Structure 1
Amino acid sequence: MKRETILITAADLAPQALELLTGYDIVYAGKTPAEDDIIHLCRQHDPVAIIVRYSKVGAQAMDAAPSLKVISKHGSGTDTIDKEAAKSRGIEVVAAVGVNAAAVAEQALALLLACAKSIPQLDERMHQGHWDKSTHKSLELGARTIGLIGLGAIGLRFAKMADALGMRVIGFDPFAKNLPDYVQSVDLETLWRDSDAISLHCPLMDENRNLLNAETLARCKRGVIVVNTARGGLIEEAALLAAVQSGQVLAAGLDSFSVEPMVPDHPFRHQPGFILSPHIGGVTSDAYVNMGLSAARNALAVLSPAAVA
């Protein structure tokens, strides 16, 4: 009897996760699969499940896999999956919510500190033989206000770190409940007005696409720091570029972008005021295992619920 197939939209999955999937044939899409690659592999192998690490999974891929029952995200963000198409076809979409919260929150903190302390720039200057002690002034974060947009597992983890630095923590999240005492819930207008730094921790939806744009950035304090470890589509990139160049934004620490991988001629490259990382906030050795295990278990919960009960 032919075994059922699970498609992994990447070149690998944690060995611990693979152990859970020993009853299935595993097909990998490669390191940088395009959406057409996923469609082709679905047509070729008719998987019962797709574990999504990279690339988009849309209606065409779903139609190419008539046996598909579940799409399981290797992480928490499901914006690369056409959820409406999945729902109309009776395909469940599940996510590994919260398992990479520590990793992403730490990346956000690292980017915030790098922006405030000019760590990459000073490192480069030191390697070039310079000693800027008499001319450089960094920013002290204690007693300043950090505004968080999104107060889920990642946002709250980051809030705890910011509070430990002595920062005032304010946040906007219409779905958040039972916030800790050190997080003050505010509306967006207050957040734009009061924040010395803004960090994004919300999912990307039609309602918040380009949330940070020319208009909202203009409402912020001059010299605000912007950190994004969520989704690139939350920021209108041309507006952010202009705001950094004008000094309205002191620095931007970004781990996600509207188009990924970043194109070679992207205007953020070689631009002062930008500290960039390749969407690796959730990519640590620990998170790699935890997300793989969660994605595998979530898929199995749909495929064979008795096996994971």
Structure 2
Amino acid sequence: MSTILITGADLAAPALELLRDYDIVYAGKTPTEDSLVALCRAHDPVAIIVRYGKVGAAVMDAAPALKVISKHGSGTDTIDKVAAQARGIEVVAAVGANAAAVAEQALALLLACAKSVVELNDRMHDGHWDKSTHKSLELGGRTIGLVGLGAIGLRFARMADALGMRVIGFDPYARKLPDYVQSVDLATIWRESDAISLHCPLTDDNRGLLDAQTLAQCKRGVIVVNTARGGLVDEDALLAAVRSGQVMSAGLDSFAVEPMTAGHPFQHEPHFVLSPHIGGVTSDAYVNMGVGAAKNLLQVLARSGAAAH
């Protein structure tokens, strides 16, 4: 029986049912390259479902039977796609499977920043009553700039429109946008947005997209939300911008290095609302991503003639 390697400790039951004709091997919650190489050498999987960790050339070379690498989610930046292509290994992703979950997290972070939810909660628990001194930001009528208009970005755009926000967006690949999303260039995003939310994949071209230069082009007091990839943001530049007031508040669900370790400069820093890259981690998205990843790899294996045996 052929083997499928899961770079995680579990997979949703409906996904496992789809893969019932295969042996399933789990790599655990924090797989290293060495552990993945060892598992590939031991089991020679025909497919890998990527949840955690990175899959590069060394892992691929340890699995001669490997036909497909299937991402448990939409972002494939943890997979070396150039190495995969060179070896004839197909890379697929469960695009849109967690769109609702991530868009809701982006909205939660936006509202938390605009309404000082975390700061006021802490003050209340310490016995303060800031009614006479605090003023939060009203989002209705203000402009939200979205970088990336895929499934997640468009879902978030619909929510922002429902709040009465003006929605502008940049995505060179987007087609047939809804009438409430105005397509603009990046310069317009920086210049006109009262809040900016990132929803694009991480590539070599956009790494450090939000840096000192682009943040300086933004309106003073802009809100920054990132539920995409930490590498899109120059973290030192963002910290400086928040401290100076150029950025009013930052709501972040992803970071340059994950997991975040003790002593990270964002920790205990006011005006940062942080969550541990859980935007796509809901009970519904867990099932949707698992099923999507399973269906995608089965389609590739069927085409390649490497179905279960």
Q: TM-score, normalised by structure 1?
A: 0.97
Match of residue 287 from structure 1: 285
Alignment of 1:31-180 (within 5 A): 31-180=29-178
Matched, 1:15 2:6: no
Match of residue 28 from structure 2: 30
Match of residue 217 from structure 1: 215
Matched, 1:234 2:232: yes
Encode CA deviations 1:176-229: one digit per residue, 9 max, x unaligned: 111111111111111100000000000000110000000000000000000000
Encode CA deviations 1:124-144: one digit per residue, 9 max, x unaligned: 111122111111111000000
Encode CA deviations 1:93-114: one digit per residue, 9 max, x unaligned: 0000011111100000000000
Compute the RMSD of aligned alpha carbons: 1.2
Post-superposition offset of 1:259: 0.6
Give the unaligned 5+ runs of structure 1. none
Post-superposition offset of 1:304: 2.6
Structure 1 counterpart of 2:232, which letter?
Answer: L
What SS does the aligned partner of 1:206 have?
coil
Structure 1 counterpart of 2:219, which letter?
Answer: K
Alignment of 1:197-276 (within 5 A): 197-276=195-274
How far, CA to CA, are the matches of 1:28 and 1:207 in structure 2?
Answer: 33
How far, CA to CA, are the matches of 1:42 and 1:258 in structure 2?
Answer: 28
Runs of at least 4 residues off by over 3 Å: none
Post-superposition offset of 1:45: 1.3
Structure 2 counterpart of 1:116, which letter?
Answer: A
Q: TM-score, normalised by structure 2?
A: 0.97
How far, CA to CA, are the matches of 1:35 and 1:284 in structure 2?
Answer: 27
Post-superposition offset of 1:36: 2.1
